Copies of this chain bind each other. A is one copy, B any other.
Amino acid sequence: MTINGNLLVAGTERRGSNGEFHGIEAATGKPLPVSFGGASPEEVEQAAEQAWQAFATYRETHLEVRAKFLEKIAEEIEAIGDDLVVRAMAETGLPRGRLEGERARTTGQLRLIAREVREGRFQELRFDAGDPSRKPVAKPDLRLRNVALGPVAVFGASNFPLAFSVAGGDTASALAAGCPVVVKAHSAHPGTSELVGRAVQRAVASTGLHPGTFSLLFDTGFEVGQRLVADSRIRAVGFTGSRRGGTALMEIASKRKQPIPVYAEMSSINPVILFPGALNTRATDIAAAFVTSLVLGAGQFCTNPGLILAVDGAALDAFVARTAELLRDVAPQAMLTPSIAKAYCDGVAKLRQHSEVRSVASGRPGSDFEGTAALFETSADAFLANHELQDEVFGAAGLVVRCRDLQQLEAVLDELEGQLTVALHIADEDEAAARRLVPKLEMLAGRLLVNGFGTGVEVSPAMVHGGPFPATADGRSTSVGTLAIYRFLRPVSYQDFTKALLPAALR
């Protein structure tokens, strides 16, 4: 399969004229074959203009055509074969099993959303018949449907080279809604992006859609992304990345002549609450499950459990001891990029040097490109007094916060920023205490889970992968699951329309 570093603009390919960069082998920091050309301002313009042109027809594609298109993308991704996994392994350092699973997740997601498109529920069709004889004024005939927002800029995520990238959740739900997509590839996996981009491009062509329905751009810095978000033809943004990057895009979007929604998923430390009964009965089991979740994918999940809250005492000691014991055996793992590895290393060093934080255990040390799992602990008093202890350390680092009692644990919850997930570990006897906290947790996060960890994100109609700021820019939506389609829609009401004028679905 071809990787030549070209931009894929609306059915064509061309060398980006704005500098170049290489994919980097995550495990070694060495450049991989093929250089990628960054998009110039003109090339960004062209992609946006083509998306805008495509929107005129794509927004009203028959739902069956749109569903088949999504399924075709899935087929085309599968047709790339092992080349995709091999390239993604090299670029991301993620192991084969994970990437094969992620590929299945990505194609499964496309197919689930295709089914949802066929059902068409997201159109939110509403009919309210008129009544010309109503007094004092006639009642108009009113019909409502959701329409697509317009072309969407999607930013590939470093940590999911397939499922949150070129043909990931944002792209799938935007395309499902009727929005063309311009993807800004993440420089952490440009070759993987190109392979998938070509698959989407082929699906566009074989479905007979306007070629502007999809474009893929590379960026040597931040300019391409910033220009896309500022472009008047782009009408919504899907982003997964850092808090700094996400808030910068939010600001650009809010300063446009016409502000647009930014769905940025940014920062979450995913608190895990260990209730006393659960700790008393299962401390070591929970420790084992925690370590598994903490080190999964080198901890590079938005839902990584970075914060453990529990009441101080012997049972918590047992949990910490067992976690430490398991952690010491954890092998170092290649991180997604050298800069992510460095940021992780710096974050861990900061915790290690923090006067109020105790280093409990570390995994086995590795190279400069690898992350070593790390466990820290602090008191609730210190956590409450030092806001920086809430900062996400992206990677396999966990912080245990020892609380005096459940009341202080609740005080810690009150100080937390918005989260993607909160996990509760409970035994029967904890149910009353847990129940009392649920309303607070609903305000804190988009997903609450019992006796588990948040690192597995089921692609389901009932999934919410989102949460109050800074977990995401807009806590009213989800980036995973079928509800994600609604992010790219807005309602329009049709009053006293003649049959011929009405959109087909409302006739």
Q: Name the residue on B nearest A495 (C-beta).
A: B449
**Known contacts being A418-B258, A431-B501, A458-B140, is A490 close to B476, with CB within 8 Å?**
yes
Shortest Cβ distance from A135 into chain B, in angstroms?
Answer: 12
Q: Is the CB of B483 within 8 A of A447?
A: no
Q: Name the residue on B nearest A434 (C-beta).
A: B501
- Asked if A395 is at the interface of the complex by the 8 Å CB criterion, the answer is no
Q: Is the CB of A142 within 8 A of B495?
A: no
Please choose the segment from A31-39, A78-86, A215-223, A463-471 that sits at the chain B interface, where 4 or more of its residues have CB less than 8 A away: A463-471
Shortest Cβ distance from A2 into chain B, in angstroms?
Answer: 32
Q: Name the residue on B nearest A448 (C-beta).
A: B494
Q: Is the CB of B446 within 8 A of A464?
A: no
Q: Is the CB of B497 within 8 A of A462?
A: no
Please choose the segment from A339-347, A366-374, A404-412, A435-443 that sits at the chain B interface, where 4 or more of its residues have CB less than 8 A away: A435-443
* CB under 8 Å from chain B, chain A span 140-159: 140, 142-144, 147, 149-150
Q: Is the CB of A469 within 8 A of B144?
A: no
- Asked if A391 is at the interface of the complex by the 8 Å CB criterion, the answer is no
Which residue numbers of A lie inside 8 Å of B, CB to CB? 56, 59-60, 101, 126-128, 136-137, 139-140, 142-144, 147, 149-150, 250, 254, 258-259, 261, 417-418, 424, 426, 431, 434-435, 438-439, 442-443, 445-452, 456, 458, 460-464, 466, 468-469, 473-478, 483, 489-498, 500-501, 503
When distances are taken between beta carbons in the complex, the residues of chain B under 8 Å from A136 are 101
Q: Is the CB of B258 within 8 A of A431?
A: no
**Known contacts being A126-B461, A128-B460, A469-B259, is A447 close to B478, with CB within 8 Å?**
no
A446 and B491 CA atoms in complex are apart in Å by 7
A250 and B256 CA atoms in complex are apart in Å by 13
**Known contacts being A439-B59, A489-B476, is A501 close to B464, with CB within 8 Å?**
no
A210 and B69 CA atoms in complex are apart in Å by 52
List of 4 A-B pairs having minimum Cβ-Cβ separation, nearest first: A449-B495, A464-B493, A142-B462, A128-B462
Q: Which of B56, B258, B439 contacts A417 (CB 8 A)?
A: B258
When distances are taken between beta carbons in the complex, the residues of chain B under 8 Å from A466 are 491
A144 and B477 CA atoms in complex are apart in Å by 12
When distances are taken between beta carbons in the complex, the residues of chain B under 8 Å from A150 are 443
A431 and B501 CA atoms in complex are apart in Å by 7
When distances are taken between beta carbons in the complex, the residues of chain B under 8 Å from A498 are 426, 431, 450
When distances are taken between beta carbons in the complex, the residues of chain B under 8 Å from A445 are 492
When distances are taken between beta carbons in the complex, the residues of chain B under 8 Å from A258 are 417-418, 468-469
**Known contacts being A261-B476, A450-B497, A452-B496, is A142 close to B442, with CB within 8 Å?**
no
Q: Which of B140, B254, B462 contacts A449 (CB 8 A)?
A: B140
Q: Is the CB of A492 within 8 A of B442?
A: yes
A492 and B435 CA atoms in complex are apart in Å by 15
A-B contact pairs, 21 of them (CB 8 A): A56-B439, A126-B462, A140-B456, A140-B458, A144-B462, A144-B463, A258-B418, A258-B469, A434-B501, A435-B501, A442-B492, A446-B492, A447-B495, A449-B495, A449-B497, A450-B495, A450-B498, A450-B501, A452-B496, A464-B492, A478-B491
A56 and B476 CA atoms in complex are apart in Å by 20
